[in-house]
Amino acid sequence: MTQTIITLTVGYALVAVLVALVVLQARFHWLIKGGLTLALAALLFLTYQGVGKLRGLPSDTNPPERFRLYWAQIEEPDKLTGDPGAIFLWLGELDADYYPVGQPRAHRLPYSDELAALVLEAQAKVAKGEDIAGEVSEDEAEEDPAETLAEEAMEEAEQGNSSRIGTRVLSFDFGNLRFDTTPAPVTPEKDN
């Protein structure tokens, strides 16, 4: 992520140089030239600060199909403030042979009592020092996905689902999620 920030900063700096060249060669009033220069400098600073704040935010995408659970945090819904709650998982993706793939990542899942109970049980095992893996199995194809989507939309409307602007609505079926001890990676057989 730091490389992304540096790349964006360098990109904006190049834009700043190009704008400076245009401003110096153009026959605008000096107040307009100064204003453009200050606006670009402010944009550089604000972009750097804004991207820096995004670095630690969890992903709102579904977790990987197979992963290792490092830790979890459960935030229960708050009826007083209307916060729907969330479950945060710190996960490392595993390939088909249970080898780690890439870097660990934080994921945010919508809160439910059933998912919270499942995650608490797995988190207790992690706290005892066990390596816990999770797996999300695929659903069998449903007969009419359009009908299912319509039913889900009606249920959300009846429940008064209040998703806020800027919040991605995640449809994660935790019923297919299971946690177990992480199996040893599969190693290839040696030839003599």
The reply to whether 163 and 80 lie within a common domain is yes
Q: Calculate the CA dihedral of residues 43, 48, 49, 50 and round it to 10 degrees.
A: 80
Residues 112 and 154 in one domain: yes
Mean pLDDT for the stretch of residues 61-77: 91
Asked whether residue 141 carries a pLDDT value surpassing 50, the answer given is no
Q: Is residue 174 part of a domain?
A: yes
Instruction: Using the predicted structure, report yes or no on whether residue 125 has a pLDDT greater than 90.
Output: yes
If asked whether residues 26 and 88 sit together in one domain, one would say no
Q: In this structure, what DSSP letter does residue 102 have?
A: S
Q: What is the mean pLDDT of residues 164-179?
A: 57
Q: Give the torsion through C-alpha atoms of 128, 88, 64, 169, to 10 deg.
A: 160
Of 164 and 137, the structure prediction assigns the larger pLDDT to 137
The reply to whether 190 falls in a domain is: no
Query: Which amino acid makes up residue 106?
Result: A
Does the structure show a pLDDT above 60 at 172? no
- Phi and psi based region of residue 49 (left: phi greater than 0; alpha: psi -120 to 50; beta: remaining): alpha
Neighbours of 8 (CB within 10 A): 15
pLDDT at 163 (0 to 100): 42
* CB 131 within 8 Å of CB 183: no
Residue 187 lies in a domain: no
Is residue 83, in this structure, part of any structural domain at all?
Answer: yes
